[in-house]
Structure 1
Amino acid sequence: MDNGKIKHIGVFTSGGDSPGMNAALYGTVKVAEQHGIRVSGILKGYEGMIDGHFIPLESQQLQKTVHRGGTVLKTARSERFMAVDGRQLAFKSLQDNDIDAVVAIGGDGTFKGLIAFSEISKIPFIGIPGTIDNDLAGTDFTLGFDSAINTAIESIDKIKDTAESHNRVFIVEVMGRDSGYIAIHSGLGVGADAILIPESGEDFLQLLKKVKDYRSEDGFIVVVSEGDELGAELVASKIKELNPEVDLRITKLGHVQRGGNPSAFDRMLGIRLGAASVNALMNGERNVMAGILDNQLKFTPFDSVVKQHQLNEELYGLLKTLNT
């Protein structure tokens, strides 16, 4: 079928990997094929775009990767793309390969790159929110967030068994450089005793009140976002100063939260947003991110997507209730 405009789409994954990226690739290519549109994968994000590392993509091969974590297109951060010269090389590379539209799967840094790219390029860009941090406006959930919190909850549940067996205080650090969503969802999900996030300055004071006279026969679980202003080590030292008798351990879950098979939710979300991105390009959309708000497909301009992250008020209220 001749759509009259888009003939060849380039798609890439950028920034930190997140479970569900492969599902998004599949959704993108499957719908493109139905409209007679060719799709090329750009390897290693903006780096591959600059260097012209393109491969043809077919839905039949991608269908076998929907259940896999990570990204079959690989990902990388690109210092070169931050400079105008790098973006000009990337633009030339797209032109040389006759690519007339791009679907980008990534997070905040990816969309900031697209904003800068759009200043020198007329190629239409559509974004898919792929980051476990869930810190983008324009969507209720980002790709990989659900998988990450399920991984975190499974890990913390196991830590909790040990904490209760030894009457220990465990400080568990989860990912979330600027966002506390993983900490809140996983902390509430495991019944943590305290949750510390970057967006709150009160949570640590409430923790100190709780742990000062801790003598329980149960374990005590503190979930800390890696972006919290204090960090796991300083929190641990403050607790020991206040209550030297506690048996305390620190566990950092780290990149285990990014890996593993995507959840059913993230697989469906990826396919849904991939398909929506191609349809958006055909409808003349450009420089917007596809997202799901109130279970409805929405498109948000990039400059609104990357605005300062704010925590959901309802979740913040739940956090205050828990930490009191």
Structure 2
Amino acid sequence: MKRIGVLTSGGDSPGMNPAIRAVVRKAIYHNVEVFGVRYGYQGLMDGNIFQMDLGSVGDIIHRGGTMLFSARSEEFKTDEGQEKAIEQMKKHGIDGLIVIGGDGSFRGAQKLTEKGFPCIGVPGTIDNDIAGTDFTIGFDTALNTVIEAIDRVRDTATSHERTYIIETMGRNAGDLALWAGLSGGAESIIIPEKEEPFTDICDRLVRGHQRGKKHSIIVLAEGVGSAFDFGDRITKETGLETRVTVLGYIQRGGSPTAQDRVLASRLGAKAVELLIEGKEGRMVGIQNNHLVDYDINEILSAKHHINLDMYNLSKQLSI
């Protein structure tokens, strides 16, 4: 393994830059050349590839987003697109590729590996929805962004004595909503993995109002549906005034937390080690604070499971 490439793909997440930094510097430490690929798989097909050195990743560990940029590509999903990408890597003498992104990005890495080109996946997504790892890069930063928003909304909710519904991102996973709701003291947490009768949610709000509770916070994962629709239903059912805050893309931005910087550094370095060892078609992850790696096919066929003990605890603490 003399030369490796690195790209970021799909939605950006805080911590991608520290991961890129770790890949570049770990590789150079082991006398392996590194080539960056701009704009994900699209850039790979287009030959938007450049050699990186130690200075290329200076002063980026604290920055959100990705210095390599990201893009989605329909063309890359085709055999022709994948062959075009491989030809570009052969042209630049690249022997292996590290892909930082979510499950869609990993499917691209899977296809390249099947065509004989070694790839390693590094999980970077705020959704925390990848099997085989306790945490993905960017989740902790996004979580803290959501918690800060909940704390701020609670101030105005108290002032106006209203029920506020806060919609988080997460695609089809409820991790952001669950962790933020529990740490933010939400009265209800609505996630796609655990359906709760709507009447139970309303009853909890009414009981709180009857005992003199001045406000309530509900955290809803986007995978459940529209927070505005949910708020209208609550108002019709309970008569309580509701307001909705959809946090949107602010959850993807910002300087990565120390947790995400350390996680990204460890996973990026581990990915380089795997390529040097001659491994391919693997994803690196972390479980119980220990680095692990799995066959990427196994990861893509497995399902991410939420911590239902945390969900049950949140209900117990919001009585």
Question: TM-score, normalised to structure 1's length?
Answer: 0.94
Partner of 1:234: 229
In structure 2, distance between residues paired with 1:23 and 1:206: 43
Partner of 1:195: 189
Partner of 1:3: none
Partner of 2:105: 110
Q: Does 1:130 align with 2:156?
A: no
Residue 203 of structure 1: CA displacement?
Answer: 5.6
Q: State how many pairs are aligned.
A: 316
Partner of 1:64: 59
Deviation by residue 1:300-324 (Cα, 9 ceiling, x = unmatched): 1112222222212322332443566
In structure 2, distance between residues paired with 1:182 and 1:276: 26
Q: Does 1:178 align with 2:172?
A: yes
Name structure 2 gaps, 5 residues minimum: none
Deviation by residue 1:204-235 (Cα, 9 ceiling, x = unmatched): 4421221245354421100000111x421221
Are the aligned partners of 2:169 and 2:251 in contact in 1 as well (CA < 8 Å)? yes
Q: Does 1:221 align with 2:217?
A: yes
In structure 2, distance between residues paired with 1:154 and 1:238: 26
- Pick which of 215-224 and 280-289 moved more: 215-224
Of 32, 37, 54, the match for 1:37: 32
In structure 2, distance between residues paired with 1:22 and 1:128: 12
The within-5 A match list for 1:139-218 is 139-202=133-196, 204-212=198-206, 214-215=209-210, 216-218=212-214
Are the aligned partners of 1:196 and 1:204 in contact in 2 as well (CA < 8 Å)? no
Name structure 1 gaps, 5 residues minimum: 1-5
In structure 1, distance between residues paired with 2:26 and 2:111: 28
AA of the residue aligned to 1:227: G
AA of the residue aligned to 1:62: V
Residue 32 of structure 1: CA displacement?
Answer: 0.6
In structure 2, distance between residues paired with 1:112 and 1:172: 32
In structure 2, distance between residues paired with 1:314 and 1:282: 39
Residue 139 of structure 1: CA displacement?
Answer: 1.0
Of 89, 94, 107, the match for 1:99: 94
Partner of 1:264: 258
- Pick which of 276-285 and 23-32 moved more: 276-285
In structure 1, distance between residues paired with 2:312 and 2:237: 27
Residue 247 of structure 1: CA displacement?
Answer: 2.1
Partner of 1:27: 22
Are the aligned partners of 2:193 and 2:306 in contact in 1 as well (CA < 8 Å)? yes
Partner of 1:296: 290
Deviation by residue 1:111-148 (Cα, 9 ceiling, x = unmatched): 1222222222x121111100001111111110000000
Partner of 1:248: 242
In structure 1, distance between residues paired with 2:316 and 2:298: 31
In structure 1, distance between residues paired with 2:295 and 2:164: 42
AA of the residue aligned to 2:159: S
Deviation by residue 1:87-113 (Cα, 9 ceiling, x = unmatched): 111111111111100000000111122
In structure 2, distance between residues paired with 1:190 and 1:275: 33
Partner of 1:86: 81
Partner of 1:13: 8
Q: 1:217 to 1:321 in 2, by over 3 A?
A: closer
AA of the residue aligned to 1:301: D
Are the aligned partners of 2:109 and 2:120 in contact in 1 as well (CA < 8 Å)? no
AA of the residue aligned to 2:257: S
AA of the residue aligned to 2:50: I
SS in 2 for 1:290: strand
- Pick which of 26-35 and 303-312 moved more: 303-312
Residue 176 of structure 1: CA displacement?
Answer: 1.0
Q: 1:89 to 1:205 in 2, by over 3 A?
A: farther
Are the aligned partners of 2:185 and 2:318 in contact in 1 as well (CA < 8 Å)? no
Are the aligned partners of 1:164 and 1:217 in contact in 2 as well (CA < 8 Å)? no
